Amino acid sequence: MPFLGPDEMLSGEPLPGWKGRFFHAQSMTFAHYEIVAGAPALHEHHHHEEEVWNVVAGEVVLSIAGEERTLRAGDVAIIPPDTPHSARVIEACRVVVADHPRREALPGGIGRQA
């Protein structure tokens, strides 16, 4: 399926205030998050996929392998595979997250899409 609208994506809230739309490409998984101010932090975790965070609006603090950085609109973070990382929201934000290869187990146990 080469084109998707928001209503054709999986949706869920893996953490309170972390509303997401998710979809899989052939070899990648994408998440579009709208995160409210005051949302709980994303705990430190790791997974075998490489992950890229692209901040579209707002402000979020990302910690990657112990190094912490505040990201704002236009900033990008690249998280290598199997690297501990966490996030906390400073102000309401929109973030696009891409995983490679496909991340079949989506955050929060959200269903899978073929």
Query: What per-residue confidence (pLDDT) applies to 32?
Result: 97
Judge whether 10 and 113 are in contact, CB under 8 Å. Answer: yes
pLDDT, one tens digit per residue, over 57-101 is 999 999 999 999 999 999 999 999 999 999 999 999 999 999 999
Rounded to the nearest angstrom, the gap between the alpha carbon of residue 98 and the centroid of all alpha carbons in its chain is 7
Per-residue pLDDT at 35 exceeds 70: yes
88 in Cβ contact with 15 (< 8 Å): no
- CATH code at 10-107: 2.60.120.10
